[in-house]
Amino acid sequence: MSDIDFPDQRTARPDTLAAELLRTPPQNLEAEQAALGALMSSTGAFERYFAEILETGLAAEEYYKPAHATIHRAICAVHRAGEPVDPITVGAELTRRGELSRAGGAAYLHTCVQAVPTVANGPRYAEIVRARAYRRAAIESAQRILQYAYSEEGDESDVRGLVEQELTAIVAGTPGLATAPPAVDDIYLDYVAKLEEIQNGRQVGLTYGLADLDTITSGMRPGNVTVIAAQSGVGKSTLALNAAVAAAKTGARVMFSSLEMSSTELMQKIVAAEGSIPLHHLTRQGGLTPEGWKEVERLGRELFRTLPLRIYRPDQAALRDIESAARACVRGDGLDVLVVDYLQLVETEHTRTATREQAVAAVSRGLKNLSVALDCHVIALSQLNDDGMMRESRAIKNDASVVIKVERPDLDEPESPRAGEVDIAIEKNRFGPCATVTAAAQMHYSRIVDMSQT
């Protein structure tokens, strides 16, 4: 036997446990205030940070201070109602619920806003709050295990069951820890359902507006990117705008973001294409005939009044502005297709310090991530060099699911026997073969249509 005297575990450990129970649990009230303040400050140019904060998974139950949980629930209620989130609207919601005093009063809402060092750091404040909440949950699980083990209730299998239950729950709640991937059997069932749709002839993706292109690519699918590349003046913007309108006419919710053309110029092109009105009649004084005016008015009544198409011309060519507008669409009616015209004009926060290839790669990757995060399809336009190569092509091709190169044989040969034709070369296609589709370029109407429509 050893000469060492061990303390009586039944008396020493409970005292230690009692002492632990009296300690203040992990928490960071400053971070909680800052997270709430950032949520109530994410308006205007900072609107995108609201979604980014909530995307951390932050929930009301993770705040240590009960008043903060109450404020968080009110913020989410205001947001779900489609109202702007600020101290005034949140205060009104708390008043409606009879919880304003429980939340600390209207003045405390402004205190939270003033506690925000930088709104852009809102997601980080939320992560700090979640990390402290996880530690508290881990402590609570450990305490339940200790209390049950000291109680001497049950047998070894009961203790083991409780330990497994608590540890499984705490591991599953780890901030940032993904749930287990789906089993192949579940994936198979979803696959068969989609396969039946394909074999029964139902459209898999949203239409590009060209039947042959839809057949080869199966249309536009959420979470994927199509790159349309061409030299200046060939018609890549026309093809993308036609696709946007065609998808919107089926009910898809579309946002067309142009860094080249104004909203008026885009509307001129849409009216010309949909009304079969020569584009130059819409752009010069006195060019529109009485019949043309009637067609413009008809389009307003029968098409534009209900067409789910939004046109966005950002004040600056920043990727974050396009992302913010796209997220606003998702929070509104939703978003199925996002068109960006064009890649090389978009700027990121690191554009000034990065090489040209790094900057475009960051934009390409950002749009790919956005398509996945928002579950929408992205059409990104890209310029081609004079030699026909895509500028900064490596990253763009890697991120794209479909790469289309647009060429017009009659540009260099006005007397070409293929005058009025356009080649849509599919150079990358994750959903089928690579091929070239020939369409008709009716550029006087600002549209590209199937050859069968000529």
Please state, in angstroms and as integers, the Cα–Cα distance from residue 89 to each residue in 27, 39, 133, 318, 433, following that order. Answer: 27, 12, 27, 29, 53
User: Which tens digit of pLDDT belongs to each residue from 414-436?
Assistant: 777 888 889 999 999 998 899 99
E-only strand ranges, 234-315: 254-258, 309-312
pLDDT of residue 3: 41
Total residue count of the chain as it appears in this document: 454
- Per CATH, domain 211-453 is 3.20.20.70: no
E-only strand ranges, 244-331: 254-258, 309-312
DSSP, res 378? E
Pairwise pLDDT comparison (11 vs 171), residue with the higher score: 171
Residue 438 CB coordination number (10 Å)? 14
pLDDT of residue 1: 35
> DSSP 3-state assignment of 192?
helix
pLDDT of residue 318: 79
Whether the predicted model's global pTM rises above the 0.85 cut: no
User: Which tens digit of pLDDT belongs to each residue from 121-157?
Assistant: 999 999 999 999 988 888 888 888 888 878 877 777 6
Q: Where in the chain is the domain with CATH 3.40.50.300?
A: 211-453
pLDDT of residue 48: 77
DSSP 136-183: HHHHHHHHHHHHHHHHT-S-HHHHHHHHHHHHHHHHHT-TTPPPPPPP
Q: Does residue 376 register a pLDDT over 70?
A: yes
- Asked if residues 277 and 416 have their Cβ atoms less than 8 Å apart, the reply is no
Q: Return the CATH fold of 29-172.
A: DNAb Helicase; Chain A (1.10.860)
pLDDT of residue 2: 38
Residue 285 carries which side chain, given as an amino acid letter?
A: Q
> If you average pLDDT over residues 325-335, what whole number do you get?
85
Angle of the 106-114 helix axis to the 66-80 helix axis, nearest 10: 90
- Asked if residues 257 and 340 have their Cβ atoms less than 8 Å apart, the reply is yes
Separation CA 27–CA 215 (nearest Å) = 56
> DSSP 3-state assignment of 267?
helix
Q: Where in the chain is the domain with CATH 1.10.860.10?
A: 29-172
Residue with tokens 């098409």: 303
Residue with tokens 């000034």: 352
Q: Which of 296, 303, 294 is nearest to 282 (CA)?
A: 296
Separation CA 370–CA 362 (nearest Å) = 12
Q: How many CA atoms lie within 13 A of 316 on its CB side?
A: 10
Q: Does residue 380 register a pLDDT over 50?
A: yes
Q: Which of 253, 265, 385 is nearest to 308 (CA)?
A: 253
Structure tokens at 113: 């806003």
Q: Does residue 34 register a pLDDT over 90?
A: yes
pLDDT of residue 21: 55
User: Which tens digit of pLDDT belongs to each residue from 200-258?
Assistant: 766 678 999 999 999 899 899 999 999 999 888 888 999 999 999 999 999 999 999 98
Residue with tokens 């205030």: 33
